[in-house]
């Protein structure tokens, strides 16, 4: 799964990397957690970075406050679940990040690790988004979830799942493209190249989302 990540690249750097014309300016986030508003790019407005809460609330939800808000969706079963199947066809997004965290189960307890690209450049998780409309106020509430897949060799040592990292601009453009089929989109949802990633153990400071500063990145 993917339950915590970072977005510490400045807004100008995100705009350059993802070729966006309009930019919001999120503060550096060293410990991005579910429910927080985080930067994504949707297939509907691919030129704009938007801040959207993490944790999917489907458009048909009757109880957004009390219902489930999945933060992850399994790549292998997207086409089997009606809600995700519709989003795969209509509402895909790039979830902007520059590293993520995973907890390795050991005899000494769960050890957090930071995983990033060897280049240390920002990247995009493949995501799905939806929007729920408050019938009382008419207010629109977009939300998103991150797609996960089988782990690559590096991640298999830490966990049995990993987020789908799209391998560069061509794959990112393809993921957002509305003229591709669901099968073509699903072909993009594969483990990232192990040789382009690195990881290291960090302190348990990351365990609390309240700790949101550069000290979270320190090696254990």
DSSP letters of 25-38? -PPPEEEE-TTSEE
CATH of domain 5-208: 3.90.1680.10
Q: Which of 2, 93, 172, 199 is catalytic?
A: 2
Average pLDDT over every residue of 166-186: 95
**Domain chopping of the chain, boundaries:** 5-208
What is the total residue count of the chain? 220
Q: Where are the alpha helices (DSSP H) in 3-156?
A: 11-18, 82-90, 153-156
Paired strand residues for 73: 147
Angle, vertex CA 2, rays to CA 100 and CA 32, nearest 5: 55
Paired strand residues for 197: 117
Residue 47 is given by DSSP the state T
* Secondary structure of residue 172 in the 3-state scheme: helix
Alpha carbon of 45 to those of 11, 40, 48, 49: distances in Å? Answer: 17, 10, 6, 8
- Residue-wise pLDDT tens digits, 111-166: 999 999 999 999 999 999 999 887 778 788 899 999 999 999 999 999 999 999 99
Measured CA to CA, the distance from residue 46 to residue 60 in angstroms comes to 24
Q: Does the pLDDT at position 23 exceed 70?
A: no
- Residue-wise pLDDT tens digits, 31-42: 999 999 999 999
The confidence band for 59, taking pLDDT boundaries of 50, 70 and 90, is: confident
Q: Does the pLDDT at position 97 exceed 90?
A: yes
User: What is the average pLDDT value for the chain, to the nearest integer?
Assistant: 93
In the prediction, which pLDDT does 155 show?
97
Tokens describing residue 116: 């990033």
The confidence band for 22, taking pLDDT boundaries of 50, 70 and 90, is: low
The confidence band for 80, taking pLDDT boundaries of 50, 70 and 90, is: confident
Main-chain phi, psi angles of 171, to 5 degrees: -70, -35
Main-chain phi, psi angles of 39, to 5 degrees: -75, 130
Q: Is the pTM of this model over 0.85?
A: yes
Residues 6+ apart with CB under 8 A from 155: 102, 115, 161, 162, 191, 194
Q: Which of 80, 93, 102, 199 is catalytic?
A: 102
Give 167: exposed, middle or buried? Use CB within 10 Å, 0-12, 13-18, 19+. Answer: middle
The tokens 């990232």 sit on which residue? 192
For the chain, the straight-line distance linking the first and the last C-alpha, in angstroms and rounded, comes to: 22
Whether 2 is a known active-site residue: answer yes
């Amino acid at each position: 799964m993917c339950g915590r990540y970072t977005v510490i690249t400045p807004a100008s750097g995100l705009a350059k990397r993802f070729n966006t014309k309009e930019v919001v300016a999120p503060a550096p986030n060293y410990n991005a957690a579910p429910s927080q508003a985080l930067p994504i790019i949707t297939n509907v407005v691919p030129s704009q970075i938007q801040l959207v809460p993490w944790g999917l609330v489907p458009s048909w939800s009757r109880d957004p406050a009390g219902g489930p808000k999945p933060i992850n969706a399994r790549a292998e079963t997207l086409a089997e679940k009606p809600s995700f199947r519709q989003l795969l066809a209509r509402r895909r997004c790039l979830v902007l990040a520059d590293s993520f965290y995973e907890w390795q189960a050991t005899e000494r307890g769960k050890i957090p690790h930071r995983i990033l690209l060897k280049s240390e450049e920002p990247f995009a998780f493949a995501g799905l988004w939806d929007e729920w409309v408050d019938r009382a106020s008419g207010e629109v509430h977009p939300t998103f979830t991150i797609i996960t897949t089988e782990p690559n060799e590096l991640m298999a040592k830490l966990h049995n799942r990993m987020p789908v990292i799209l391998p560069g601009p061509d794959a990112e453009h393809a993921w957002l493209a509305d003229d591709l089929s669901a099968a073509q989109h699903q072909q993009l949802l594969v483990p990232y190249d192990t040789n382009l990633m690195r990881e290291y153990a960090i302190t348990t400071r990351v365990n609390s989302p309240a700790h949101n500063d550069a000290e979270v990145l320190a090696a254990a």
